[in-house]
Structure 1
């Protein structure tokens, strides 16, 4: 999800560079059966150090296992490093709010680095070491069911974060209308094209990972708009692991198939994929400022591309708000208290139809016209992080600096 993908670690880790020699990430070869079989060796894996980083706010909560709960021990489990928001936004906001909400709580941070096997091992480690509540953003939607069930059997309260895992053993959800986000992205793309006087033409679609809990819903939402828009999806791909390098390769294929001058827009499911698509366009000699490309997550490089006119939109996920509210929710249930009624504001359903108590948040389409909503004080990012020297001129034109 980042700018044309240099080596700045504050930007996209694992993002594509503008080079035709790039290869994609290696694909996961084990079946779900194989993943779940790793449970038997999880204790060994945990001992080898795959359990993540501990971030303890204060206090001296014991890490012993057992059936006693209410001690304020929380596992915060994020899925990967490819999508930069997990480490750069969700984690610091959650931890900062936890220090305020529960100074004596102990937070252990886990990042599975894109591996369902690692996330399963981390689940086992958290249970073994002792945990009262878990905030879980899963990698694999099916493998996550087993993880939730294991936490439930151990008496751990489960908060399904940013999506709803398909088991009634989830205690609380923190989510939005995922289908709606895909529709928002696509409708903004169609509206933007029509505002330029373009009412038909070829589109290229690069969807998210079909194996996780997000990808298929974004894709369905986008199709609900695009399929009746008058535009034609001339090439479509699913990018495994939400990988920008994969998206770049897929965009290369699409340009070869459709032709350099024969498409008017790109539906990319998030900023990482948008960055890959834009890198491919540049390599092919296509000016990305002439093509409307969607995104999502409000990543720094996505915002920079929007300011520069290379990317058309992104989606504002109000991470500052919902990560903090999730911390307040986790602090309460980890101490054995009722969920705050001002946070749990509705219900949602698992894909199988089980009703889950939830905190539901809204999303916003961001274009150049309202990009300031993503910058402090309204948004997450400091102005200096977005308006770096390379983008000073573009920021001035957008009235940002």
Structure 2
């Protein structure tokens, strides 16, 4: 009996932990503010799984580099792969590689348009069209009594589904208002400095802009800085809308630097991705598409989002 107990103890001591989990995560660009929030929340939630090990990689905006990172994850025999894609129209090879290796793949935050979900591949993020609709409807209500309203749309990277669908959602609302017209639109690549430069260019070109609709808060904040530096006032001369609702966006609403934004729940997306990874690794059923709702943020309700 004593020998049996010792043998069992020996087995326990040399066995791996009850559920050791290796996750490989490739981000499109780590230096984007919202992506940094996602990463921080992933790390935060992973602490609840002591045997979870995460390897982060930065694709730095290069689709080929991201594919190579995924192939390295596969060669390293990770249990689950999470990808925030560089190009949502260029994920077929990533999806095919993960399926061939029979490794669960979770797309985070950016939903591929060229890869079908299911069969070991899932998505968690938000319905990007809704963000554009929410933002623009609020701004449209602000100017409904004006005879003519000029709208400028500041886009993110053109390879991203968020750029296309947030812009589409905004334009759907604009189309319902005969007094509203898009006069200029261009990309500021999700970046504050690019947003400031683009807005400066529009102002210096003599474009009379009543509404600036940005696909992200960082671009909106940059645009607002340009508006102020040109002697105009946000909320009076130009209404400024953003999307993301992170700490910088909330502070901008609080100080009057933005008129409205749309809350994209980084915590729920990140936590959800981690939980999905655990379920997938265990062979449990995982929802193919999990949309986290957007929420409108205005000067009237921003305080309730400060603790999210």
TM-score by length of 1: 0.67
2 CA distance for matches of 1:169 and 1:115? 23
2:212 corresponds, among 252, 266, 281, to: 266
Shift of 1:263: 2.5
Instruction: Give 2:228's aligned residue.
Output: 282
CA distance, structure 2, for counterparts of residue 322 and residue 108 of structure 1: 18
Partner residue of 1:78 out of 27, 32, 53: 27
The match for 1:242 is 190
> What SS class does the counterpart of residue 214 from structure 1 fall into?
helix
> Is 1:212 paired with 2:177?
no
Post-superposition CA distance 1:332-375 (Å, at most 9, x none):
212x32136xxx3xxxxxxxxxxxx2222211010111111221
Rounded to whole Å, the distance in 2 between the matches of 1:296 and 1:282 is 20
CA deviation after TM superposition for structure 1 residue 272, in Å: 1.4
Corresponding position: 1:172 with 2:134: no
Per-residue CA deviation, residues 96-115 of structure 1 (Å, 9 max, x unaligned), is 22232x32122112222333
Determine the structure 2 residue equivalent to 1:223. 171
- TM-align CA RMSD: 2.3
Match of 2:40 in 1: 92
User: Structure 2: where are the runs of 5+ without partners?
Assistant: 1-14
Alpha-carbon separation, structure 2, partners of 1:227 and 1:169 = 31
The reply on whether 1:364 has 2:295 as its aligned counterpart is yes
Q: Contact conserved, 2:70 with 2:81, CA < 8 A, in 1? A: no
Secondary structure class of the residue paired with 2:154: strand
Structure 1 distance, partners of 2:102, 2:70, is 13
Conserved? CA contact 2:61–2:86, under 8 Å: yes
Deviation at 1:216, TM superposition (A): 0.9
SS in structure 2 opposite 1:310? coil
Instruction: Report the equivalent of 1:182.
Output: 132
Q: 1:315–1:114: structure 2 CA closer, same or farther, 3 Å change rule?
A: same
Change (3 A) 1:199 1:75: farther
Q: After superposition, what is the alpha-carbon deviation per residue over 1:29-75, rounded to whole angstroms, capped at 9, x for unaligned? A: xxxxxxxxxxxxxxxxxxxxxxxxxxxxxxx989xxxxxxx962111
Contact conserved, 2:239 with 2:258, CA < 8 A, in 1? Answer: yes
Structure 1 portions without partners, runs of 5+: 1-59, 63-69, 345-356, 380-401
Please list, as runs of the form range in 1=range in 2, the aligned pairs for 1:300-319 lying within 5 A after superposition: 300-319=247-266
Whole-angstrom distance in 2 between the partners of 1:77 and 1:156? 15
- Kept in 2: contact 1:175–1:360 (CA 8 A): yes
Structure 1 residue 270: Cα displacement? 0.7
| Alpha-carbon distance in 2 for matches of 1:256, 1:326 | 44
